[in-house]
Amino acid sequence: MNNFTFYSPTCFVFGKDTENEAGAYVKRFGGTRVLLHYGGGSVIRSGLLDRVKASLEKENIPYLELGGVKPNPRSGLVYEGIDLCRKEGVDFILAVGGGSTIDSSKAIAAGTVYDGDFWDFYEGKRIEQALPVGTILTIAAAGSEGSPDSVITREEGMFKRGASGDAIRPKFSILNPALTETLPPYQTAAGITDIIAHLYERYLTNTKEVEVTDRLIEALLLTMVHEGPRVIADPHNYEARANIMWAGMVAHNNTVGVGRSQDWNSHNIEHELSALYDCAHGAGLAVTMPAVFTYVMNHDVMRFAKAAVRVWGQQMDFDHPEVTAKAGIEALRNFLISIGMPKNFEELGAKEEDIPKLVEVLCYGDGRQGSISGFVTLNAEDCTKIYQMMV
């Protein structure tokens, strides 16, 4: 196991009706003037935003509102939010929504106290300072409620990049699984897929003897395989939604990723798809993961075979471990299709003729030197072949 430090100071408030405590938690973490940030309207339609406002009013905390965050959040609204926070003296940002709203909030939080262009952070500068952020999560997916990361799409060129820093880990995150019951089935499934990807991207490691995190990841994957179909069959299954919501947090606050190298090639390859086609990030991952895994499988066939046996219930073929490994990848693909995810470029809305453009931005955009690195290093030729496997 590699050396590591693990700093995860977020206060998690989990369960029914917990959104009504938002105001008290803002106060506890020092907020006196709040920006309420949200998306395209689901939180208005569900009545959640009104309940959150009431909880702020109960604590006599003034607030401003900035809605309109789009899935795959854009840089334009971040600049608008930074201006607003500076002009109005906002000292706390409360995100009410999904990963996109939380990521946009984190970007505003970092940009408001930074004497420069916030995009610097998305070109690799580490975030050292930010306004405090709190979240009220409405979809189990991105894990941004516990992560030190934010992903934003730059409108000039439509490419997507991530920024990191412990300063943007939320001070508190309110997780009420009942709030996810209004999700359309496709978004629920996309969230499940993203959580599975966060687990696989950590499982694919070159670090030896990391049994504790291997086993934790396998347990979480088994949970997703069990609970995913239950929640698709019955969107009001609170217990299944609760298990998925906590799994989504644990999958991505790095509890299960410490002390080991990680992959993230599938995420990087997918980010170009959701940036260009504006598809759901999880849906893009459903098409990306089986292709990437098949392409890199031989780098460590026993690792894929282990997942196949322990997660997907395959029989180990000791003479031909690659057969077992492949069966595990096929089981993953079939699971994702069974919960309603797309299986290829066409179903995702992606176009084969765009592959050179996707590869160019992926491998050479933003200072990259012709390749991406994770479990294996993939150059432009590898990435071209992987995108072609998705057609």
Residues that bind ligand NZQ (CB under 6 A): 39-43, 71-72, 97-101, 103, 138-139, 141-144, 147, 149-151, 179-180, 182-183, 187, 191, 194, 252, 267, 281-282
CA–CA separation, 288 and 285 (whole Å)? 5
Q: Which stretch binds Zn ion (CB under 5 A): 38-46, 189-197, 233-241, 366-374?
A: 189-197
Q: Name the minimum Å distance from CB 342 to ligand NZQ.
A: 15
**Toward ligand NZQ, which CB reaches closer, 274 or 324?**
274
Task: Pick the stretch among 3-11, 81-89, 103-111, 194-202 that binds Zn ion (CB under 5 A).
Answer: 194-202
Measure Cα distances from 78 to 90, 151, 376 in Å.
Answer: 14, 12, 34
DSSP state, 74?
A: B
Enter the tokens of residue 117.
Answer: 């262009």
State in angstroms the smallest separation of the CB of 119 from Zn ion. 21
Nearer CB in complex with ligand NZQ: 33/125: 125
Q: Which does 165 bind (CB under 5 to 8 A by kind): Zn ion, ligand NZQ, none?
A: none
- Pairing type for strands 133-137 and 371-373 reads unpaired
- State how far the Cα of 175 lies from the Cα of 17, in Å rounded to an integer: 9
Closest to Zn ion by CB, 196 or 232: 196
- Min dist CB 314 to ligand NZQ, Å, is 27
Residues 6+ apart with CB under 8 A from 199: 217, 220, 221, 224, 251, 256
Q: Which does 241 bind (CB under 5 to 8 A by kind): Zn ion, ligand NZQ, none?
A: none
Which partner, Zn ion, ligand NZQ, none, binds residue 314 by CB below 5 to 8 Å per kind? none
For 199-228, b/e burial (b = at least 16 CB within 10 A) is bbbbbbbeeeebeebbebbbebbebbbebb
Give least dist CB 326 to ligand NZQ, A.
26
Beta-sheet pairing, 11-14 with 172-175: parallel
Order of strands, edge to edge, in the sheet holding 92-97? 11-14, 172-175, 133-137, 92-97, 34-38, 63-66
User: Could you tell me the smallest distance in angstroms from the CB atom of residue 139 to ligand NZQ?
Assistant: 4
Classify residue 158 as left (phi > 0), alpha (psi -120 to 50) or beta.
left
Q: If binding is defined by CB under 5 A, does position 194 make contact with Zn ion?
A: yes
Q: Which does 40 bind (CB under 5 to 8 A by kind): Zn ion, ligand NZQ, none?
A: ligand NZQ
In terms of CB distance, is 37 or 198 closer to Zn ion?
Answer: 198
Min dist CB 63 to Zn ion, Å, is 29
Closer to ligand NZQ at the Cβ: 138 or 314?
Answer: 138
> Quick check: 386 and 272 in contact, CB under 8 A?
no
| Amino acid at the residue 133 | V
Minimum CB separation of residue 276 from ligand NZQ in Å reads 13
Q: Which residues bind Zn ion (CB under 5 A)?
A: 194
